[in-house]
Structure 1
């Protein structure tokens, strides 16, 4: 595999200086995690920003900080509550890992963030680039990062070919990132190169005329801005099918907590069956009653990174379910989407909101929730 196009050259020595000059004038300086900077706040923001746009993250970060202002508050919370504050951000393993890492920081490091990158990388959900970002942005330590924005800037500037997820390409990009990171103003440089990728060297329609390092950008010189970085090889996304049972009884809507790992791990959702044909049998086996009424809602497709999920929601009404249905943990009767502090997958929250809108205020519900068991 060819990593670099013919003519690939080492960046000029003033790359960092040009980038810092641009950052001083045009960079982002008022993001919430840039205020009252601590390793904890940087860490939470970096995890939230993985696969998620800044504009989406800001309100989540602010709510999260208001509830979990430090690592001790996060570590002492329940996973349910953490996932509730994560609901809607997606990629829920990030929230679970954040919670586990906070507990390890308290148990193994007295709530302090290690100053060595390998020790940070040993925590759940923290890779090399995230660990480097924590140290560079919060403490100014000389660490190079390589997130998606940085990969795009470097791949274009040096015309690095090949999908950035391939080992040889990653190794080359890491070498460039390390060579370019200056000894001084490391935090500013780190934010600057991320800002450049986010606001100027964007995925589509990069604004090369506004780029401080455009004069020696090889992609620009060769007209390759639209083709670099090399896209990930396309793979057909399989389509899976599921029927979500929206079971409504006198106490509300039945929700179950999903297993701690896997799809939507630890979140709350509707019982699921393979098809609508299995719905009545599920009610008989689990609730001891037949549904009085069934109503199919509009199916929709929810897209994940590696597959698409075709969801058929089926509303069902039951009376006097067997008492044993609520024995033990893991089930609740859910009545109010606004006040119940549960972590919900995006499709589940969407359907609950839709049902609330369709039904209006029912049974004088004011956020009441009965825990299973």
Structure 2
């Protein structure tokens, strides 16, 4: 497949024109229940928690899983172990918090909070982003401090503010579990180890994708009725007057780069953002562009969760962001009318799609054109 420029209307493209569904994967651990934040808004009870296992990249996502840098870890047993660990509360100091506490499948793998809350109840300081389509990414976390999913998975576990785990506590808990000892030996050839656990979780996360939204069916599948008239007007605004494709580009709607929007600027200073990683003052207040896929489901928004609704986000951009010394030069007042903002929201809502699990065969060397061997 070739790169797709969403700034242009290229017409229907043959991106995963059909999905060969080979199994249904049930997140048993989710159905059993994972710890949730009591004050978070309720999830949609009608939304399925059973991603389809597919042997083809879903319609609209231009990605070759065989190019994924951690592809050698994507084997069925590794993914299965990673899924178990993702929902295992023993990865937190208290034994009450799991990865799914902040990345809940029923909320498009977010938690509905403005700011994450750690194992001790302390606020984390960042809004929990979705993990869907993160295998396509080049930087992880809002400030991009992790270059791969394994490092991303390890970070929260070892953070005192987040899950509060230590290598010693992990070894004590999992090394005394005969079933986990057996699984780690079968997958990695050695006993339970925290870095290996992070690799397994990363393998699981890399298989989770979303696409085949109404927009994808309209744009790449040729279903002209898939988008409402309002959403089609919003799409034109997104690509033209609003200039959204400057940053929200590609089929995952992100440039994977860092921008200062003025979010978090208090009138005198900005939060560090990317500066904390690079030490470059030009990066002060810059944060990674998030995907817009399933954005309808991932409120509240921005790295600090300060914007509660999509309407708030659109108003913020329409006003040109928040002025500060390092504001991204691309930001400017848009002067869009209320009707135009409604159309943009309709388009953003058309990016809501189902969640899929990619067959591990898609990650093997030699797999091409989004097909498993």
Q: TM-score, normalised by structure 1?
A: 0.22
Q: Which has the higher strand share?
A: 1
Q: Which has the higher helix share?
A: 1
Larger Rg: 1
